[in-house]
Amino acid sequence: MQQQQLLLSRVQSVVFWAVVAKAAWSVYRAILEGTLVKRVAATAVKVVPPAAIKALIDKELASVFKKIHGDGDASAALTVPARGLGGRAVVARLEELRTPYSDKTRGGVYRDPNSEVCETQNRAFELYNCSNALYTFAFPAVRKFEAETIAAAVDMVGGGTAESPSDEGSPRRKPPAINRRKTVAIYASAPTFSHGVVDDIVGLGNLAASLGIGLRVDNCLGGVLLSFGEGAPPFDFEIPGVTSMSVDLHKYGNASKGASVVAFRNARLRRRSYLPSGGGGGDGGGLYVTPTLQGSRNGAIIAQAWATLMHYGQDGYRDVAAEIKAAFAKALEIVRDTEDIDVLGTPDAAAIVPIVAGEGLKKTGITIYQVAAEMEAPRGWSAFTGPNPPVYSICVGQARAKPGVLEAWGNDLRAAISHLKTNTIGTTTTTTTTTATAAIIYGAASAVPEDVLNAVGRSSGPTSTSPLP
């Protein structure tokens, strides 16, 4: 007994000193690498932003709050109603609150709610709304739809096109030197959101394979479009180093939001995405396993994604990809023909048109963010912006591809630039407060350190998720 106690105390002391040594070593290394000071500074900024930054953030958040809530919502429901309103009244309210469809605001990838595919999806929602994909035996059809949807999506990205267009001008960056011991995978995009760049997946695939690490391709936006479009650069599992991909069926697959597939090269990798919870843990509910972090999942989302794939078929998706490609070419032409702005690089055939300030605009001091804001607030076109370099981009979906829509957008773009040029004196533009604020926020996003931006992001959450009665 005494011997056992002695052994135990020795083990405890070895563990204790090992922990102390490890902590001391990481502090020492952090100092050596010069990261400690940076980390302390970053944490300080996160926790206590300097007064000037805080004042600026508070001012901007107050203005965003005002933009969202106006003078408040007298009808805001802050509790469950004491007496149920009943179906008819609730549906009437849903109809009343709905924003009418507009091709201008559906700037991303959305299909027309009056389209035939939407009708198919609505019916799928009706039929499978009261289901849970977690219960395989209770809802066998949902299991079948999910398995088939995943198989079809994986098949889609298993055979990309092989031709690689030359694109010297695109803002691709050389991958940084990789420390093999600290890296488990490389992350690449096909394409990136605001710049429309398909990374050099072949090059990165070779690099990943030579280092024996993973290569994840974020193919959320491009998955369906690049698979069915012509002339796309190589991006998928045909490249040996690619180990996992994400494909959003709810983007160019035209399914309703909430349907995305993560695909792995082999079963060994896929196994890691399952989340088992052994029996007897937590709530004592026995063995529980989910394919990802999510637990209960509404089968209707899965059923409509499956229905959408079946509705279009490969020929339907090829037609959509051709339609988008033509609209994309038209949008590029409009930007190239517009004075004072340029297309950034040569965007891959991926439907993002990145617009930057041309020499003419730069001379006036007007930023591309001001152009984006002018398009957004007074003219009603949804705008996306990004930093490094500052860019205003549009995502060409079916709403933009409709006859006349891009032409109207081009007219407004020229009008917005001309308005800014006429009304800019020195570096001040006499424009609406909303527009100026939006431009400042877009600009701040590229200038403010990421930690501060994240802190702002957290503070801004309640701006939209709190009601103002």
Ligand X SMILES: Cc1ncc(COP(=O)(O)O)c(C=O)c1O
For binding to ligand X (CB under 6 A), which residues are involved? 189, 193, 218, 220-221, 248
Tell me how far, at minimum, the Cβ of 320 lies from ligand X, in Å: 18
Give the nearer residue to ligand X in terms of CB position, either 193 or 369: 193
Q: Which is nearer to ligand X, 214 or 223 (CB)?
A: 223
Based on CB atoms, which residue is closest to ligand X, 127 or 262?
A: 262
Tokens encoding 373: 């804001």
> CB of 19: closest distance to ligand X in angstroms?
39
Sheet with 244-248: list strands edge to edge: 185-189, 214-218, 244-248, 260-264
Query: For 121, phi and psi rounded to 5 degrees?
Result: -65, -40
The residue (of 57 and 249) whose beta carbon lies closer to ligand X is 249
Cβ proximity to ligand X, 350 vs 416, nearer residue:
350
Q: Least distance from C-beta 250 to ligand X, angstroms?
A: 6
- Residue 157 Cβ vs ligand X, minimum distance, rounded to whole Å: 14
Closest contact distance (angstroms) between CB of 98 and ligand X is 21
Least distance in angstroms from the C-beta of 194 to ligand X: 8
Q: Which is nearer to ligand X, 263 or 420 (CB)?
A: 263
Q: To the nearest whole angstrom, how small is the minimum distance from the Cβ of residue 248 to ligand X? A: 5
Contact 121, 256 (CB under 8 A): yes
- Shortest CB 393 distance to ligand X, Å: 11
Which C-beta is closer to ligand X: that of 249 or that of 375? 249
The 10 Å Cβ neighbour count of residue 235 is 31
* Close Cβ partners of 378 (under 8 Å, ≥ 6 residues apart): 432, 435
Nearest residue (CB) to ligand X, 139 versus 442: 442
Cβ proximity to ligand X, 49 vs 191, nearer residue: 191
Q: Which candidate, 234, 267, 245, places its Cα nearest to that of 188?
A: 245
Q: From the CB of 104, what's the least distance to ligand X, in Å?
A: 18
